[in-house]
Amino acid sequence: MQPRSPRAQDKSGYLSAGTIAAISTATGGAISIVRVSGPECLRTLGVMCGGLDKVTAWTPRRLYRTNLRDASGIQLDDALVVKFVGTQSYTGEDSGEIHLHGGNFIASRVLATLMDLGVRQALAGEFTFRAVRNGKMALSQAQATAELIEATNEGAAALALEKLSGSQLKLIEGLSEDLRNLAALGEVGIDFADQDVEEVSLPALRARTLPVIETLVKLKNSYSRGARIQDGVRVAVVGIPNAGKSSFFNALLGEDRSIVSEIAGTTRDVVGERLAIQGPHSSMTLRIEDTAGLRDSTDRIEKIGIERSTKAAKDADVVVFVVDVTQGAQSALEAFRFLSISPEKTLGIFSKTDMVSREVISKLKSDLEGLAVKDWVMTSAKTGDGIHGAALTLARVCEKMVERNPGEVLLTRLDQLAAVNLALEHMERAQIATEPELFASDIRQTLYALDPLIGTTVPDDILGRIFSEFCIGK
């Protein structure tokens, strides 16, 4: 994989045919793989591998050890080369992979030779773009390959692998089939499904939309969990100034990420970090944010910081509410009410427990009972006491946010959510249609709305935009 190139922005580039190549591996590895795909692939490999006859005679999908040469016959590497023919390949067209000794120098020379022979540098994700265009995979599966590459935890990897295997596609194709049948019924106005051909009334048609709507609503609701699995569970660390938020945040991360000082109001902006964490059943990624302390401030900058803290708490899946045990309950109560966060998504953290007796903490806990926060963990960032326990509790709370039923299809992308929302809008319109023809038209609109999830008829320029976010060589 190479960094995204500026040419990746060139949408029309995806539409130009021809043979493409790219270095598909990261620099610095033991081997480098150059990928080639397109109508001139085998001829080009022939020039570099000792003759077209030789390459033609190769069995597809088998590696052949080859003296790889440039156009003037100079040896480039002792390489392993494999060809894939036509529809039997990833891209759905003739393609090949050249496995080289690692190091960017050799790979770059091989790529340069390919360019000399008329091959062009592939755009980001262009191999996968071609796979979709050639009907080798659906758009959702192509996106799953990118998600698999970017997965940072086992849940995200499992989700991407399921999507790659077509679980989401199967569900959407099933929905599409139901919708096509519904549209046909509306268009014809009669129901052939029953033995006696009978007219289909609008109420009967509407009743048939309910299972489709139910599935769409489930998909819509799955997005927040899907996004959490993929991008991480959002955790905001909040509390009054000097509560020990940054100290707790740093202790959790195991590094000095956020500035800590005895001056109240040290953290001004949101400081975000990713943290891989093991829950009771699975690993997760947390997107954890340290925030500015909440208080009535006249300082313009601090006020902006506090607004950001409030927003972070509101947007967070889980709020870590830090309470300094050396302070009374009053300021904590005020801050909690100011945030108006739900106690269900709150984990309470008592900080600085090294500074007071257990009795003081018990009293504080009972004073805070009205907040209805279920879990309170005693910690000291100074001694490290309770930090491990707090991490375990946080992992347990966050794991609930990413729970899924076996085989349940989850949406993970905003564009997919937008497609499902649009489909639902059309379904709602179908519910109030006054004529079977209008009903059928709304159902057809629903079908079109869901198309981005299948991707067979997504216009090339939209496909190009989606693939420009992939890495080069994929």
Ligand X SMILES: Nc1nc2c(ncn2[C@@H]2O[C@H](COP(=O)(O)OP(=O)(O)OP(=O)(O)O)[C@@H](O)[C@H]2O)c(=O)[nH]1
8 Å CB contact between 124 and 469: yes
Q: Which 266-325 positions form the footprint of Mg ion (CB under 5 A)?
A: 266-267
The conformational region for residue 38 under phi > 0 = left, psi -120 to 50 = alpha, else beta, is left
CB of 330 to ligand X, least distance (A): 17
Strand duo 346-351 + 375-378: pairing:
parallel
Closest CA to 294 of 250, 249, 242, 343: 242
8 Å CB contact between 226 and 303: no
Among 244, 279, 386, 436, binds ligand X (CB under 6 A): 244
x/- mask, ligand X, residues 369-408, rule CB under 6 A, reads -----------xxx--------------------------
CB of 376 to Mg ion, least distance (A): 20
Cα 52 from chain centre? 42
| Helix, strand, or coil (residue 103) | coil
For ligand X, give the closer residue by CB, 107 or 325.
Answer: 325
Residue 121 interacting with Mg ion (CB under 5 A)? no
For ligand X, give the closer residue by CB, 185 or 347.
Answer: 347
Q: Which 292-321 positions form the footprint of ligand X (CB under 6 A)?
A: 292-293
For ligand X, give the closer residue by CB, 375 or 385.
Answer: 385
CB of 311 to ligand X, least distance (A): 16
Structure token pair of residue 3: 């960094």
Residue 243 interacting with ligand X (CB under 6 A)? yes
C-beta contacts of 78-81 below 8 A and 24+ residues apart: 79/110, 81/45, 81/49
Closest CA to 132 of 472, 465, 468, 463: 463
CB of 297 to ligand X, least distance (A): 11
For ligand X, give the closer residue by CB, 7 or 382.
Answer: 382
The entry of Mg ion, ligand X, none that residue 241 binds, CB within 5 to 8 Å by partner kind: ligand X
x/- mask, ligand X, residues 190-229, rule CB under 6 A, reads ----------------------------------------
The entry of Mg ion, ligand X, none that residue 243 binds, CB within 5 to 8 Å by partner kind: ligand X
Residue 355 interacting with ligand X (CB under 6 A)? yes
Among 145, 222, 246, 445, binds ligand X (CB under 6 A): 246
CB of 308 to ligand X, least distance (A): 12
Q: What are phi and psi of 163, to 5 degrees?
A: -65, -40
Q: What are phi and psi of 470, to 5 degrees?
A: -80, 175
Residue 354 interacting with ligand X (CB under 6 A)? yes
The entry of Mg ion, ligand X, none that residue 355 binds, CB within 5 to 8 Å by partner kind: ligand X
For ligand X, give the closer residue by CB, 199 or 256.
Answer: 256
Among 246, 346, 416, 468, binds Mg ion (CB under 5 A): 246
8 Å CB contact between 450 and 183: no
Q: Which 222-241 positions form the footprint of ligand X (CB under 6 A)?
A: 239, 241
For ligand X, give the closer residue by CB, 224 or 326.
Answer: 326
Closest CA to 251 of 343, 310, 326, 322: 322
Selected range binding ligand X among 137-145, 204-212, 255-263, 462-470, rule: CB under 6 A: 255-263
CB-based contacts of 333, cutoff 8 Å, min separation 6: 367, 368, 370, 371
Q: Token pair 């564009």 is at which residue?
A: 415
CB-based contacts of 355, cutoff 8 Å, min separation 6: 325, 326
Compute the distance between CA of residue 389 and CA of residue 371 in angstroms, rounded to an integer. Answer: 22
AA identity, residue 360: V
CB of 35 to ligand X, least distance (A): 49
Compute the distance between CA of residue 174 and CA of residue 176 in angstroms, rounded to an integer. Answer: 5
Q: Where on the chain is the footprint of ligand X (CB under 6 A)?
A: 239, 241-247, 260-262, 264-267, 292-293, 351-352, 354-355, 380-382
The residues that touch Mg ion, with contacts defined as CB under 5 A, are 245-246, 266-267
